Structure 1
Amino acid sequence: MASFTIEKRQLKNGELRYKATIFVKKQGRIIHRESKTFRKKDLARTYGRNRVSELENEGVLKDKPVPLGVLLDKYMADRDLWDKTGRTKRYVIQMLRDCDIATINSDQLRTSDLIEHCRNRRAAGAKPATIYHDIAYLRSVMKKAKPVFNINANYTIFDEAVPVLVDMDLIGKSQKRTRRPTENEIDRLKEGLKKRQESRPNGHTRIPYLDILDFSILTCMRIGEVCKLRWEDLNEEQKTIVVRDRKDPRKKEGNHMIVPLLGESYDIVARQPKRNALIFPYNAKSVTAGFQRVRNSLGIEDLRYHDLRREGASRLFEMGYSIEEVAQVTGHRNLNILWQVYTQLFPHKLHAKFNEETAHS
């Protein structure tokens, strides 16, 4: 059943606009949605009535193009697709729904349209690596238009457009991040986190920031992985733990991995109270937020919690572990990515290694 609504909006200059949104429901679920904005309410109402009549007489569009915004709506409404879509991709698709490019028909998208979209995003402050996600995820949605929704979409336009966008520096891959905290920064962070940890009033959850910080570096785990570790997955005899659903671009779920708890990391786990099925039963966002507040208060710039993962991997390399051994800790399947992205060695530490080797020779 098709229906429509009229929404009045006021622009910054005081002018009014009327947005007609058409819905088609089946068994109480929206299966189709589209919208168009007009200067006058009567025009919006007339469009809504006519469009509803068309949809009820002809049925929901099949094998025909639709505005990209409609296609994006369909993608978001399909649970089999949306439920398996990652957080970043969801954010980008929802953002694209509100961009000018969403008004273009799915079979009429041109390279010039993509150039205009990228320029608009750049003018709004987005970097080439960020805009690259717009193009990649829009292409992904358009490739599913025909097989999933019976909607024509010329996704092959991206074969022509992407090289042009790269040449124009409108899109690009993210730069390799090399930030590692210095020893002084880590000492200051620990002192600040200790004060934050001890300042929590009685009755409030006290997050063991110091233990989690040290554990994150020693194990090279993402904070989301740390906060999902379970007691039942701990092997006390072998000092290992199962990290469930570890991030893998080729496998979204079931990527469980046995990870060694090196050095003090096992002792950190052992001293946690067993009040929950989780070893660290805390919200990962809360842990990160506490870290960020302390970092900002100390004036430490350009340091992210995820940089601790690089710090841990780099320390293992500096200790002499092979790339294959480090991968057992970090969980990387692609050793090239591990070496290029998660390694940043401190050159001055090579002196100590050289002196040690010389002493043993």
Structure 2
Amino acid sequence: MASFSIQTRTLANGEARFKATVTVKKNGSIIHREAKTFKRKELARTWGKNKTSELEEFGIKQYKTTSIGQLLDQFIGDRNLWDNTGRTKQYVIKMLRDCNIANIESDKLKTNDLIEHCNLRKSVGTKPQTIYHDIAYLRSVMKKSLPVFNIKSSPEIFDEAVPILIDMRLIGKSNKRTRRPTENELDKLREGLLERQSFRPNGKGRIPFVDILEFSILTCMRIGEVCSLRWGDLNKIHKTIIVRDRKDPRKKEGNHMIMPLLGGAFDIIQKQPSNNERIFPYNSRSVTVGFQRVRNNLGITDLRYHDLRREGASRLFEKGYSIEEVAQVTGHRNLNILWGNHPKK
């Protein structure tokens, strides 16, 4: 039977320390004991609960350990994990594989190791918002190490480290973007994109950049969602369409939503040839690259394709739609996020 207790002691400088001790008894005798000290009581309690649950589930045994680099290799090599990992997370994990932190044993990671890693990244000009991804994705991998690979690691160290890294301004979340294209910029983009799509007026693979641009603003869809729309999901009577697998941090698949096609969005769909299962049967990356090249040639700075989604939501608010109504279009389940686009915020 595993249990834990917490003892408090006060240092000479008056600061408190909390020692969590986990014990396992059998027939009234202690057969296993381990302890760890924390600066905050809630961290000690969390570690004690996790360690107790771990011992109850897996029993007392010697788990194998490995370097963090080898743990990352195992994660990369597991197709069930890697194939369902986003592109940004894959890039960060591969990058971490070549950092000094990869040489540390998986169960020996300490807060000062994370501080050193962040300082090294900062010294070469990496921004705190980017370094935040290093910490978040490394933590994600380490949380899976024991149940998936039977490798002992120390994901609980992040509970202590993250607040310290934030206080030291070594990591931080990205500032909320407020960039909206001006009407002049949109006019220039339309002209530039029309010229680009005219290079191959009858050629195979011709992308209707202007239609996709307008459609993206009207529907507030991500470009990946636009390029995944199917004719079979279009309801011509009600002028709605099913958007499959909308982005949701809680679920990767199955987030299908019916959304209204407002403004001229339905008319833009009707203009597209119906000789393919998808309405816009193009690679989303090709669309984004084409947009970026035209934008750069026009000298338009700090404008991303994703900003069109924000532009669309802002326009809906300006037309008088409520937050709940706009959420039906954007797909936001957390309505608080939409306040960032609300002109009355």
TM-score, normalised relative to structure 1: 0.76
Question: Which residue number in structure 1 is paired with residue 318 of structure 2?
Answer: 318
Tell me, yes or no, if the aligned pair for 1:142 and 1:155 is still in contact at 8 Å: yes
Report the residue type matching 1:136 in the other structure. Answer: A
**Cα deviation per residue 1:290-344 (whole Å; 9 max; x = unaligned)?**
111111111111000000000000000000000000000000000001222xx16
Report the residue type matching 1:123 in the other structure. Answer: S
Rate the CA distance shift 1:346–1:144 in 2: closer, same or farther, 3 A: closer
Tell me, yes or no, if the aligned pair for 2:317 and 2:342 is still in contact at 8 Å: no
Q: Residue 303 of structure 1 aligns to a residue in which SS? A: coil
Question: Which residue number in structure 1 is paired with residue 272 of structure 2?
Answer: 272
Q: Residue 259 of structure 1 aligns to a residue in which SS? A: strand
CA distance in 1 between counterparts of 2:206 and 2:155 reads 51
Question: Which residue number in structure 2 is paired with residue 182 of structure 1?
Answer: 182
CA distance in 1 between counterparts of 2:333 and 2:245 reads 14
Report the residue type matching 1:89 in the other structure. Answer: K
* Uncovered stretches (5+) of structure 1, i.e. residues with no partner: 1-61, 348-361
Rate the CA distance shift 1:346–1:146 in 2: closer, same or farther, 3 A: closer
**Cα deviation per residue 1:26-58 (whole Å; 9 max; x = unaligned)?**
xxxxxxxxxxxxxxxxxxxxxxxxxxxxxxxxx
Question: Does the alignment pair 1:337 with 2:337?
Answer: yes
Rate the CA distance shift 1:265–1:205 in 2: closer, same or farther, 3 A: same
CA distance in 2 between counterparts of 1:151 and 1:293 reads 46
Identity of aligned residues (%): 72
Q: Detail structure 1 runs of 4+ shifted over 6 Å in the superposition.
A: none
Tell me, yes or no, if the aligned pair for 1:178 and 1:344 is still in contact at 8 Å: no
Q: Residue 144 of structure 1 aligns to a residue in which SS? A: helix
CA distance in 2 between counterparts of 1:238 and 1:227 reads 21
CA distance in 1 between counterparts of 2:176 and 2:313 reads 15
Tell me, yes or no, if the aligned pair for 1:189 and 1:295 is still in contact at 8 Å: yes
Report the residue type matching 2:253 in the other structure. Answer: E
CA distance in 1 between counterparts of 2:137 and 2:143 reads 10
Question: Does the alignment pair 1:221 with 2:217?
Answer: no
* Uncovered stretches (5+) of structure 2, i.e. residues with no partner: 1-61
CA distance in 2 between counterparts of 1:331 and 1:96 reads 33
Deviation at 1:227, TM superposition (A): 0.4
Question: Which residue number in structure 1 is paired with residue 263 of structure 2?
Answer: 263
Q: Residue 205 of structure 1 aligns to a residue in which SS? A: coil
Question: Which residue number in structure 2 is paired with residue 207 of structure 1?
Answer: 207
Tell me, yes or no, if the aligned pair for 1:310 and 1:344 is still in contact at 8 Å: no
Rate the CA distance shift 1:201–1:233 in 2: closer, same or farther, 3 A: closer
**Cα deviation per residue 1:246-293 (whole Å; 9 max; x = unaligned)?**
000111100000010011000000010112111001111111111111
Question: Which residue number in structure 2 is paired with residue 135 of structure 1?
Answer: 135
Question: Which residue number in structure 2 is paired with residue 307 of structure 1?
Answer: 307
Report the residue type matching 2:114 in the other structure. Answer: L
Tell me, yes or no, if the aligned pair for 2:241 and 2:259 is still in contact at 8 Å: yes
CA distance in 2 between counterparts of 1:78 and 1:138 reads 16
Deviation at 1:201, TM superposition (A): 6.0
Deviation at 1:80, TM superposition (A): 2.4
Question: Which residue number in structure 1 is paired with residue 96 of structure 2?
Answer: 96
CA distance in 2 between counterparts of 1:82 and 1:196 reads 36
Q: Residue 173 of structure 2 aligns to a residue in which SS? A: coil
Report the residue type matching 1:210 in the other structure. Answer: V
Q: Residue 84 of structure 2 aligns to a residue in which SS? A: coil
CA distance in 2 between counterparts of 1:186 and 1:346 reads 24
CA distance in 2 between counterparts of 1:346 and 1:227 reads 32
Question: Which residue number in structure 2 is paired with residue 105 of structure 1?
Answer: 105
Question: Does the alignment pair 1:231 with 2:228?
Answer: no
Question: Which residue number in structure 2 is paired with residue 3 of structure 1?
Answer: none
CA distance in 2 between counterparts of 1:63 and 1:178 reads 48
Q: How many residues align?
A: 285
Deviation at 1:129, TM superposition (A): 1.1
Tell me, yes or no, if the aligned pair for 2:288 and 2:305 is still in contact at 8 Å: yes
Tell me, yes or no, if the aligned pair for 1:314 and 1:344 is still in contact at 8 Å: yes
CA distance in 2 between counterparts of 1:203 and 1:193 reads 16
Question: Which residue number in structure 2 is paired with residue 195 of structure 1?
Answer: 195
